[in-house]
Amino acid sequence: MQTKVRLLVEGSADAAISEYVLRAAGLPTEEIEIHSCGGKSGVARELELLSQAGVLSAALIDADELSVPDSVVAAKLQLGVNAAHVFAAVPTIEAWLFADIETAKRNVRSVGALEILGRAPLPELIPYPKYLAHQVFKKGHAREVYRFMEGVDVVRGASRCPSLAAFLNGMAAIVDYPLQLSGLALQQSVSRDAIASVVRELPGGLNAWRTVDGRVITAGTLAVEITEGSELGKQYATELLRVARDILVRKARRE
């Protein structure tokens, strides 16, 4: 089978981690050929050559910017190539090892390492993820040490690590694989009770939401659906958060 896309990464650890998280998300890894390029300059050179040859390719490099869009801009500047498919691991790809913290804790090398992870911040706020990984996981080649990443909960990981979510969603789009991590991550990480409580502040009989297929749902029904975690409730919660985000952004720009 001809490779559908070539994914260019900086080093061997990047190749191992990216392959394992793609498998964990269920993507068809037989359609993705991962190349370790020996650093950012190697990624830039190969990306330019593949682009000129018309080969479908993507690049994943480290970029220390907290916002996903800012990290991608930084990555493209570092590569010096205006390619369409560029992804950034924030601040480095080793942060993704801690995205699903429960799986990470099950694979530490000692009780002391477990205590260290218990104090760790969110993955993308860890100052030196590579150093932390060396402290808590067993020694050895990255492909063996980080094999546990094949079994991570990618929804939990995506909810804690936006750059991981962006990478998986982006690669899924390239290989035309149906993956909806962003919505699932929101649904898992945001308290249903909190959203249901806000909805319950409205009169129960008030028409509060119109679905894509035209159904009108009352506030009382929505509160029940959200609390029970139904598909309808999840859809509403996700739409609510995104609309609220966009309104607040527009308000901030006006002020």
Residues 173 and 212 in one domain: no
Residues 150 and 89 in one domain: yes
Residues 134 and 215 in one domain: no
- What pLDDT sits at residue 1? 42
Residues 132 and 243 in one domain: no
Instruction: Give the residue numbers spanning the domain of 103.
Output: 5-180
Residues 101 and 212 in one domain: no
Instruction: State how far the Cα of 168 lies from the Cα of 228, in Å rounded to an integer.
Output: 28
Question: Would you tell me the crossing angle of helices 68-79 and 40-52 to the nearest 10 degrees?
Answer: 80
Residues 217 and 174 in one domain: no
- What pLDDT sits at residue 248? 83
Looking at the domain assignment, is residue 185 inside a domain?
no
Tell me the pTM: 0.75
Instruction: State how far the Cα of 224 lies from the Cα of 76, in Å rounded to an integer.
Output: 45
CB atoms within 10 A of CB 84: 11
In the chain (255 residues long), the average pLDDT of successive 10-residue segments reads 82 98 95 96 94 93 85 90 88 96 95 94 92 95 96 89 92 89 55 72 85 89 83 82 82 77
Q: Which amino acid is at 214?
A: G
Residues 121 and 213 in one domain: no
Query: In sequence order, what are the beta bridge partners of 209?
Result: 217
Q: Which amino acid is at 34?
A: I
Longest dimension (CA), the chain: 62
For residue 127, what are its two tokens?
A: 């100052």
- What pLDDT sits at residue 191? 62
- 3-state SS assignment for residue 65: coil
Question: Would you tell me the crossing angle of helices 231-254 and 219-228 to the nearest 10 degrees?
Answer: 110
- What pLDDT sits at residue 67? 79
Total count of domains within the chain: 2
Residues 54 and 120 in one domain: yes
Residues 157 and 205 in one domain: no
Looking at the domain assignment, is residue 58 inside a domain?
yes
- What pLDDT sits at residue 98? 97
Residues 16 and 141 in one domain: yes
